[in-house]
Structure 1
Amino acid sequence: MANSLPWEIIADILSRLAVKDLLRYRCVSKPWCSLIDGPDFIKLHLKQSLETTSHHRVIFGDRTELYWVDLVTLDSAVRLPYPIDIGRGIDVLGGCNGLVALANKGGDVAIWNPSTRSYRTLLISEHEFYFLSDSFEFVMSGFGYDPIADDHKLLMKMFYTLVDEEPQDLDYYSEVEIYSVKAQTWKKVDDFPDHFVYRPGSGVVVGRALHWSVIRRSDTSNWIFAFDLVAEDHRELALPDDKDVKTSRMKLVNLGGCLCFAVLCNYNQDSKKSDRVDVWVMREYGVKESWSKLFSVAPSSVTGPFWYVVPVAYLKGGDRILLDQDGEKFLLYDVKRKRVKKLRGSSFPRIFDTLVCVGSLVGLDGDDGEGSGKKAGKKRKGKEQSDKKRDDFLSKGFKLVL
């Protein structure tokens, strides 16, 4: 029967299936394998999954364990194996189109597809020789997609601590770089503004840009800092004229494809609790006047006292929103009845931060797999180059923090 169907129909049918099924169906025949592995089908499958919000999962966990759960069934969580050593902890740097960027405290970075288990490891910039002991940290990061270049990009702002000739003299240095998955190269980003305080964390992807919540130094007010992955430049997005929004703590998210934030109203630093959380959404991207308050959540018998409540994603049908409370548990917000409900029938490990990830076949341009000789050789070559740059750097009168 399959042979009697046009390939367009076969491709359309297969594009609606989950990744785990498609990986099995590669064994049906060589033509099916070529179809499923082909770039056109991979894009068709991703487009179908994004438009129908099917095959979406929520990734969550702490720095030593990572899990995901199906966004439709919200049943038992599945533990995910890390593609790099855990070391002293793993940071999730961002995710887009089924790919997730990870890093450990030792300076190892991986771009990883948890659906196919393919990944690529890379050196952090050309400054690998800085990354000894506690001499560096990630100030901010983000991972998104450039639709014009058809390229996934990882942005990282890193902060280094160096020691001058005298051990008591510390020198601090920060740098912003962007990694191209297609070109497999890092590039320095110049002219990053210094009139903001950048909160640590991964950028929120909306469209072709990454977004972070920042504080303007001059008046300590909240702003949104955006980095366009196509033009590779930055801009600022104004927030609504609301006192709580301007001065209270806030968390950015992508909700249904729109830029959204949760603001912690009357946050008490001592008790680490808030009176309520207001959730705002930008209906028309880049237009300040399109900000509108979506809903509010106040402490109740369902929630108890809380620090924050953050929307994670719309559930199927759009009449319920999955909420993350304090990184401790999931709740449901009923859009029609405008009230919070418990998520029944499921128990999860500690949630910590969440990331919505679509199941996709998106690969890494042939450099996939687990520790190939090609990658090991590239690592050795990078190490040799790094050693030379380290020696050149040290000859200028600096030494590393040990």
Structure 2
Amino acid sequence: MARGAKIPTLPDDIVDSILLELPVKSLLQFKSICKSWCCSIDDPEFVKSHLHKSFVDTNRQKILFISFEKIKPLGFTAKIRSTETSLGVDSKFTLLDPPIAGFLNDTYSGLKVSLCNGLVFLKNYTSMMLWNPAIRKYKLIPSYAMPPLCWTYSIFGIAYDSVAEDYKIVHVKVTDEIHRDHIIEIYSVINQSWRRMEDIRVPVGFRSIYRHPVSLNGTINLIATSTRDKSECFVISFYLADEKFIVTPFPRKDQNFFSWRLCTFANRVCISATFEEKFSMWALEKDGKTGLLIWNNITAILTSDSSIHKFPGGLVDLVCVKENENILWRYCNDEKGHFIEYDVQRKEATEFKLEIEILLNKHLPLLHVESLVSPKIQWD
């Protein structure tokens, strides 16, 4: 290059397009390259675009495993491990340590976990935390105003309210096991405060059986059964923007309601179960004519000749669709890390085991994406 010649530069839109292809770790490093790159990466619209690209690109998706290891005769510590969706026998795991030492100790039955847009909500017996592992930032969530009464159990979920542009944590306390009375509280990340919803109630006549709600597109969803007929199952969806509940009956009755699984799949809320030697999955969608939520059967796989049929009722948890478009399951009642990979093209299933000594039977595998999301709060 001749002396005095200018170094060529790329237009901003091309630079942004290149940056969108990079993982979070690289973007955090590149923020120090120059001021313009730092501004681009911190721009809220860039953060949204990068998040959207991570959701649709299976190469960017990861799986989080919540496992438990004994630390003393009667105690456990939780471990959060991350791996690629191309999970196999030789997969490498990354241990994600919460920034507060000991936060996951002695939490076997009390740990609550919920994911949304790269943010991880954690609750142990005494504290709550909102954490973005990718950018290494966290915020302790203050305790809610506890009324002078007891409750049977609590359900927590985090979701993004796109109307208010706010992340919200929803806490549902079941206060009466017989009459199914509930108390609902919502924490606003922007306002950093809890409020009790006096006028909104969980629909009566339902008993929740799914302790780890699924969050997607501004909704928090959980499985419930009728208090009158356990063969009647429903998905109860709470919409943050409207602050209302919608109840959608399952596509069929089933006495073995614990065989149903709730998950996100292809950016939709889905349920799955095994019936008559077929693994079937239904997606919750809005009917174009009526506007009501309906179930659309999106897959049915024969299981009689495969490992999927090994457990009664098809007790397997759908983990993800891998990069090669194969479907991955995990035996939900198994503590030894057994998995099933279904080859969609060959219609064959193979079983493999991860060589790690962990208890996997407490929490479902969670599909996760790394993100630059940093809510409008002062991180701790």
Is 1:339 paired with 2:348?
A: yes
Is 1:294 paired with 2:300?
A: yes
TM-superposed deviation, 1:94: 1.2
Segment of structure 1 superposing worse, 302-311 or 197-206: 302-311
Cα distance in 2 for partners of 1:130, 1:338 equals 56
- Show the counterpart of 1:257: 267
TM-superposed deviation, 1:73: 6.2
Change in CA separation of 1:364 and 1:5 when aligned onto 2, cut-off 3 Å: same
Judge conservation of contact 2:210–2:222 (CA < 8 Å) in 1.
no
- Show the counterpart of 1:69: 83
Is 1:119 paired with 2:129?
A: no
Judge conservation of contact 2:210–2:224 (CA < 8 Å) in 1.
no
Is 1:182 paired with 2:185?
A: no
Cα distance in 2 for partners of 1:41, 1:192 equals 37
Cα distance in 2 for partners of 1:70, 1:331 equals 16
Change in CA separation of 1:56 and 1:4 when aligned onto 2, cut-off 3 Å: same
Is 1:321 paired with 2:327?
A: yes
- Amino acid across the alignment from 1:279: S
Residues 103-149 of structure 1 deviation map (CA, whole Å, 9 limit, x = unaligned) = 0012x11111111121111123222x879xxx667432221112222
Judge conservation of contact 2:328–2:342 (CA < 8 Å) in 1.
yes
- Show the counterpart of 1:308: 315
SS in 1 for 2:134: coil
TM-score by length of structure 1 reads 0.75
Judge conservation of contact 1:262–1:279 (CA < 8 Å) in 2.
yes
Residues 60-103 of structure 1 deviation map (CA, whole Å, 9 limit, x = unaligned) = 12251111101246521111102442242162431111111110
TM-superposed deviation, 1:305: 3.8
- Show the counterpart of 1:361: 372
Cα distance in 2 for partners of 1:252, 1:291 equals 14
Judge conservation of contact 1:76–1:347 (CA < 8 Å) in 2.
no
TM-superposed deviation, 1:226: 0.8
- Amino acid across the alignment from 2:80: L
Segment of structure 1 superposing worse, 224-233 or 243-252: 243-252
Cα distance in 2 for partners of 1:96, 1:77 equals 21
Judge conservation of contact 1:311–1:323 (CA < 8 Å) in 2.
yes
TM-score by length of structure 2 reads 0.79
CA RMSD of aligned residues (A): 3.0
- Show the counterpart of 1:82: 98
Which structure 2 residues correspond to residues 361-400 of structure 1 after superposition, within 5 A?
Answer: 361-368=372-379, 372=380
Segment of structure 1 superposing worse, 178-187 or 300-309: 300-309
Change in CA separation of 1:304 and 1:23 when aligned onto 2, cut-off 3 Å: same
Residues 357-394 of structure 1 deviation map (CA, whole Å, 9 limit, x = unaligned) = 111000132422xxx4xxxxxxxxxxxxxxxxxxxxxx
TM-superposed deviation, 1:331: 2.1
- Show the counterpart of 2:124: 104
Cα distance in 1 for partners of 2:95, 2:242 equals 37
Change in CA separation of 1:93 and 1:130 when aligned onto 2, cut-off 3 Å: farther
Residues 229-264 of structure 1 deviation map (CA, whole Å, 9 limit, x = unaligned) = 211110111221x34388563121111112222226
- Amino acid across the alignment from 2:329: L
Is 1:57 paired with 2:72?
A: no
Change in CA separation of 1:146 and 1:54 when aligned onto 2, cut-off 3 Å: farther
Identity, % of aligned positions:
24
- Show the counterpart of 1:236: 247
- Structure 2: state its 5+ residue gaps: 1-5, 69-77, 287-291
Residues 273-310 of structure 1 deviation map (CA, whole Å, 9 limit, x = unaligned) = xx967332226345435235532545856874466112
Cα distance in 1 for partners of 2:202, 2:280 equals 29
Judge conservation of contact 1:214–1:222 (CA < 8 Å) in 2.
yes
Is 1:330 paired with 2:330?
A: no
Judge conservation of contact 2:169–2:187 (CA < 8 Å) in 1.
yes
Judge conservation of contact 1:239–1:245 (CA < 8 Å) in 2.
no
**4+ residue runs of structure 1 moved beyond 6 angstroms?**
none
- Amino acid across the alignment from 1:210: I
SS in 1 for 2:250: coil
Cα distance in 2 for partners of 1:191, 1:103 equals 23
Judge conservation of contact 2:182–2:201 (CA < 8 Å) in 1.
no
Change in CA separation of 1:204 and 1:114 when aligned onto 2, cut-off 3 Å: same
Cα distance in 2 for partners of 1:296, 1:155 equals 38
Change in CA separation of 1:39 and 1:264 when aligned onto 2, cut-off 3 Å: same
SS in 2 for 1:183: coil
Match of 2:161 among 146, 156, 165: 146
Q: How many residues align?
A: 342
Cα distance in 1 for partners of 2:98, 2:186 equals 23
TM-superposed deviation, 1:29: 2.0
Judge conservation of contact 1:248–1:264 (CA < 8 Å) in 2.
no
- Show the counterpart of 1:284: 285
Cα distance in 1 for partners of 2:86, 2:306 equals 26
Cα distance in 2 for partners of 1:40, 1:223 equals 36
- Show the counterpart of 2:289: none
